[in-house]
Structure 1
């Protein structure tokens, strides 16, 4: 087995094992790449790092969101099973970053703390094998290197149930080198930082005196004051009229017509904001939330209004029962209606806390004092 084959056997084992439990169809690849985990990469190397949490949050670059009650979840017929039932939620007022955290902002954090991201740490085989079938052979050491997954378009149409066709595990890829070791973020200071795991995002949030949004806060903010609409701009399909978000136009994963003028991530504020003045609440990069994921959580909340829900106490995903998951929201530049509508305001995905990809970033929130 070649090294490239070995790493995909390792990293995509869980992708290919995923099946839709209701209709028995293979889960679409973009869904798998965002909701399924990669095996655990390391054993908390950054978890013990001392991050100053006494810092007061600066509200510069943030938008104050006035809390209220709303109906959370999908009411149309386009949602996945875990988006139902629609239920009443009340959120307190909070501040939210107007944009996704940028490379420039994340660089300040790294310089101040010496923080090392997940993608910069060699995977720990002893942790990885806990989530693989018993007896899975250890890959060659040349594969167990600090790396991350980079999107690589195919040249022709391919089955959309095989994510390894368009993701490549490239050594030396991380937030500073988002497309491989020869790439850099020079000139991209205003782009969203990517290849960020939940652990990385949470560490930044603590350092900045902020926190990651709850899923309820995120959806309330994304709606921008609109009631029961599919997207933050209303119900019009994103392909209709002027581009509204950075998503994939054309035929995934081999032809991006770039109607929105971007092939990959876009600088923040490249598109109009929602009704609350928040940018890129659909498309561009997936955004981490603080909540653990379970598919039945909405059912468990019942018919009463839930005040400031913070998600389940622990994660359980029947597709990957040994792997804890956190929620990601908002979709990315890879979302296309042919297989993924992650840019819908109610769309939920999930991923393991140590997973970071080329289309995964975050934004922070802060409590109103």
Structure 2
């Protein structure tokens, strides 16, 4: 049973998130009675509640509980690396298809026109097409043609490292949000950008005229924009949001009315694209929601489709292979005249039937990177809600903490540093940390793992060097960021380290065993392969239920309005 995505599943995004200040009846605060959206009383704002639609290319995945690793019926590699564990995955969005060659060429094109003189940036963004080259196989035509020839434009991009996939996710987030703002008039429209010259400013560069910008043209960045560091002449559009604050200055609105950039609270911008977690990927691939009635799963799955076989049982497609994989040694395509899966290497990203979530090629075609760092025993340790291994927390570096301005790199992106604590710092601590950041960073980089701090006493030195059975030197740091690891044997006695990232799903060159969503393998984050691609995901904010029609619900009561006497 395929679940259909309906327009009624979401509340349409409002054209304006703020209720007009001209309204006679204002909504009031439930706790103070102060009217919202009234510029006469200080301009307190209550934004329209929305359940935003997914970003371009994504479909909604309604979360729930499932047995991670439960679809595997054997462990042919004897890895013992995915023992069954019941977990809960929150609702999220996921790409309908794998990222294609055309999608990646868009990324390369933007890079070339935005930074035409930065050969290093463009070179680093290029996939490694040499992954097709084999010493005993004539794959040289794919080296030159697979990425760029239009015949392959709808095929999944390969030769992409985990790091490159992460960079693409950030780029896609910024381009999507920039397009929303320009198309809706919250920023200068595409056709008016740079005065309509040079193709209307197709690269999307703007001038950071306010908020600590250096006045030079820089690409749009979501974090920098939301922090108020991209605004002013050449940036502001004709349909900016009304600013009700009594501190607002006259703006570019009609009659000089105060206006402001879009905020996160407006619900207009999309959450960031990212790689899915391993749990999200496995849950989405199984799509057990298609076999669920009244909270009961009627039938489990071994693949993204029902049944134990790999051929279609439907009358119109009976006998056809359901995914692109290697049927046997030396059999990548089948017999000439009747190819079994209609592909010899990869296939277009919309090939074969989608699963019950509407996702294509969640088995076969290419393996897909996920966000997790690989450990054999992850299942023994991770949380049972939204499990994920690999959190490396970071904070945006402040250029001026007193003004709340982010430091930017030469590409206009916020510079991020490892987080030092798992709590909000006191303001005095924030100022002190930012002031000492450069010195502490240099000291950390230059200090050997087992060195005794020069300014530490003997007791502190002993505590720092006191090692546990794990080989980790102890340091009482809330997050563990300061803890050091003895690197003498780390990565030498095992191939697994913090750079080992998980990929899943099976590929055009894999046997059917790897099509099972529970199987997992790993590769270094800087390595790539002709059998590995990726797709993006996005966090869903708000209520988790996506398909509420026809289901019982408790009503949500509205608060009583307060009336001043």
If the TM-score is normalised by the length of the shorter chain, which range does it land in?
0.5 to 0.7
Distance 2:377 2:507 in 1: 25
Distance 2:360 2:506 in 1: 13
Q: Deviations over 1:141-180 (max 9, x none)?
A: xxxxx7622165xxxxxxxxxxx75697x7xxxxxxx812
Match of 1:113 among 92, 107, 111: 111
Distance 2:152 2:332 in 1: 25
Distance 1:212 1:323 in 2: 17
CA distance 1:232–1:271, change in 2 (3 Å): same
Give me the CA root mean square deviation: 3.1
> 2:349 is matched with which residue?
268
> 1:221 is matched with which residue?
284
Distance 2:58 2:161 in 1: 22
Match of 2:62 among 34, 42, 66: 66
Match of 1:232 among 296, 304, 310: 304
Distance 1:316 1:64 in 2: 39
Match of 1:311 among 389, 414, 424: 389
- Is contact 1:103–1:185 with CA below 8 Å preserved after alignment? no
1:204 aligns with 2:204: no
- Is contact 1:84–1:299 with CA below 8 Å preserved after alignment? no
1:359 aligns with 2:531: yes
Match of 2:144 among 156, 163, 181: 181
Q: Which protein is bigger by CA-based radius of gyration? A: 2
Distance 2:62 2:493 in 1: 36
> 2:508 is matched with which residue?
333
> 1:289 is matched with which residue?
370
TM score, norm. by length of structure 1: 0.64
CA drift at 1:299: 2.2
Distance 1:266 1:254 in 2: 12
Distance 1:346 1:63 in 2: 22
Of 278-287 and 65-74, the range deviating more from structure 2: 65-74
- Is contact 1:72–1:216 with CA below 8 Å preserved after alignment? yes
CA distance 1:186–1:214, change in 2 (3 Å): same
Q: In structure 2, the residue corresponding to 1:148 is in which secondary structure?
A: helix
Distance 2:152 2:301 in 1: 33
Distance 1:324 1:298 in 2: 19
Q: In structure 1, the residue corresponding to 2:325 is in which secondary structure?
A: coil
- Is contact 2:373–2:498 with CA below 8 Å preserved after alignment? no
CA distance 1:181–1:190, change in 2 (3 Å): closer
Match of 1:247 among 325, 329, 348: 325
CA distance 1:93–1:147, change in 2 (3 Å): closer
Q: Deviations over 1:11-57 (max 9, x none)?
A: xxxxxxxxxxxxxxxxxxxxxxxxxxxxxxxxxxxxxxxxxxxxx99
Q: Which runs of 5+ in 1 are unaligned?
A: 1-55, 122-145, 153-163, 171-177
Q: Deviations over 1:286-345 (max 9, x none)?
A: 1000000011111224xxx611111155897964146731000111001124xxx21111
Match of 2:154 among 165, 180, 190: 190
> 2:514 is matched with which residue?
342
Of 251-260 and 357-366, the range deviating more from structure 2: 251-260
- Is contact 2:366–2:531 with CA below 8 Å preserved after alignment? yes
Q: Which runs of 5+ in 2 are unaligned?
A: 1-51, 113-120, 174-272, 292-296, 313-318, 393-489, 542-565
- Is contact 2:169–2:275 with CA below 8 Å preserved after alignment? yes
Aligned residues: 265
Of 203-212 and 236-245, the range deviating more from structure 2: 236-245
Higher helix share goes to which structure? Answer: 2
Distance 2:350 2:101 in 1: 14
Q: In structure 1, the residue corresponding to 2:143 is in which secondary structure?
A: coil
CA drift at 1:203: 0.6
CA distance 1:89–1:245, change in 2 (3 Å): same
Q: In structure 1, the residue corresponding to 2:507 is in which secondary structure?
A: coil
